[in-house]
Amino acid sequence: MGVYSKDEDIFNAVLFPNPAGNFFYVSCESNDNSVELVILDMAGRIVLNKKINNNEIINIGTLNAGIYIINIKSKNRVYTKKLVVN
């Protein structure tokens, strides 16, 4: 599995709003139909793991306020972003 780099930006991923409240919107462009979204807390525990479409609203109303790591994974790429939850 590769790591996201600006030279291989197959996702063109956008997450907003950030900071987020009860939800955030994710938009990504991937040729792979099996895109997976993983949210990790700062201890590295998976708090959400789901298959997503290229454009989707993610409900995070059950998450505590804090900083989380978002991984968007396709077959051979990973896009990583920090998300702040209010």
| pLDDT tens sequence across 47-82 | 999 999 888 999 999 999 999 999 998 887 888 999
Sketch out the chain's domains with CATH numbers: 6-85 (2.60.40.3080)
Predicted TM-score of the model (pTM): 0.83
Instruction: State the DSSP H helix or E strand holding residue 52, giving kind and residue range, or none if neither.
Output: strand 46-52
The whole-angstrom separation of Cα 37 and Cα 81 is: 11
Q: Average model confidence (pLDDT) for the chain?
A: 86
Backbone angles phi, psi at 3, to 5 degrees: -115, 145
pLDDT digits (tens, 9 = 90+) for 13-45: 889 999 999 999 998 877 767 789 999 999 999
| Amino acid letter, 6 | K
Residue 7, pLDDT above cutoff 90: no
